[in-house]
Amino acid sequence: MNKTHFIVLLSVSFLIAGCNRATVEPSAEEITTEAGTVTVVIQSSEGERQTEVDNVLPGATVESVMRSIEEVPITINGSGVTAFVSKMDGVETESTKGWTYMVNDEYVNKGIGSVMLVPPATVTWTYGTYEQTIGNKVDTSNDESATTQASQE
């Protein structure tokens, strides 16, 4: 990795790190090589929408799953480690509000292009301020890893 890539990766990590301290990794028993279904739940003041993405292979990123959804209009800016959702189902990120997500009920502190899924999995999106979405729900007193069916690069 050259110096420029490292600086960009480090900068993006610092920007995203404020979301949560949990690291999401699959256990050995959860890893599979078969394709499965990822359920995507979108929660906003407009209500809740749910869609299922079939035939997702283990290791697919949240970004690739979100880009494959056609039933809900989604705008993703950037790609890979810089990818983020700027608009979903007509609700756009603002200066104080935005989209945060959980994988299998665990908040994730990485960008959508860095988090790999192991189906079956559920990605839940919530719109609001940090305090409304995850600020009061995150235990930052323990910085150890949480275990679910998602993995980060």
For residue 90, how far is the Cα from the chain centroid? 19
Q: Is 9 exposed, middle or buried (0-12, 13-18, 19+ CB in 10 A)?
A: middle
Report the pLDDT value the prediction gives residue 47, as an integer from 0 to 100: 86
Q: What is the pLDDT of residues 86-136, one digit of tens each?
A: 999 999 999 999 999 999 999 988 999 999 999 999 999 999 988 888 765
HSE of 74, CA atoms in CB hemisphere, 13 A: 22
Put simply, whether the predicted model's pTM sits higher than 0.75 gets the answer no
The pLDDT confidence band at residue 48, using thresholds 50, 70 and 90, is very high
What does the mean pLDDT of the chain come to? 78
Which domain CATH number covers 139?
Answer: 2.170.130.30
Is 28 a residue whose pLDDT tops 70? no
Q: Total domain count for the chain?
A: 1
CA separation for the pair 35, 118 (Å, rounded): 9
| pLDDT on residue 123 | 98
Q: Which domain holds residue 138?
A: 3-152
